[in-house]
Amino acid sequence: MILNTNAIVLNRMKYKNSSLIARVFTENAGKISIIMNGAGKRKGNIIGIIEPPNIIKLDYYQRQSKSLQTCKEVSFLYHNTSIRNDITKLGASLAIVEIIDKTFHENDHNADVYHLTSNALQLIDNQLYNAKLVLTFFMFELINELGFMMNLENKSDTSLIINESQTKFLLHLKQYTLNNLDAVNYSDINLIEMITILEMYIKQHLKLNKDIESLKMIREIAYG
**What are the pLDDT digits (tens) for 38-73?**
776 666 678 889 999 999 999 999 988 788 999 999
Instruction: Answer whether residue 158 shows pLDDT above 80.
Output: no
Instruction: Answer whether residue 164 shows pLDDT above 80.
Output: yes
Instruction: Answer whether residue 95 shows pLDDT above 90.
Output: yes
18 and 62 inside one domain? yes
94 and 36 inside one domain? no
87 and 163 inside one domain? yes
Instruction: Answer whether residue 90 shows pLDDT above 60.
Output: yes
Last residue of one domain, picked from the residues 30, 58, 78: 78
CA atoms within 13 A on the CB side of 199: 22
DSSP assignment of 59-124 equals: EEE--TT-SEEEEEEEEEEE--SSGGG-HHHHHHHHHHHHHHHHHPPTT---HHHHHHHHHHHHHH
Residue 209, H or E segment: none
DSSP 129: S
Q: Is residue 68 within 8 Å of 20, Cβ to Cβ?
A: no
122 and 141 inside one domain? yes
Domain enclosing residue 169, as ranges: 83-223
Secondary structure (3-state) at 49: helix
Q: How far apart are the first and last CA of the chain?
A: 50
Q: Rounded mean pLDDT of the chain?
A: 90
Number of domains in the chain: 2
99 and 151 inside one domain? yes
158 and 199 inside one domain? yes
74 and 91 inside one domain? no
**Mean pLDDT, to the nearest integer, of 30-44?**
81
58 and 145 inside one domain? no
pLDDT in tens, 114-146: 999 999 999 999 988 999 999 999 999 999 999
115 and 155 inside one domain? yes
What's at 139, amino acid-wise? M
CATH number at residue 31: 2.40.50.140
44 vs 4, which has greater pLDDT? Answer: 4
CATH number at residue 133: 1.20.1440.120
Last residue of one domain, picked from the residues 78, 101, 134: 78
**pLDDT value for 42:** 66
Last residue of one domain, picked from the residues 62, 78, 94: 78
pTM for the predicted model, two decimal places: 0.93
CB-CB neighbours of 181 under 10 Å: 20
**Mean pLDDT, to the nearest integer, of 13-38?**
92
Task: Name beta bridge partners: 76.
Answer: 56
31 and 117 inside one domain? no
13 and 66 inside one domain? yes
166 and 208 inside one domain? yes
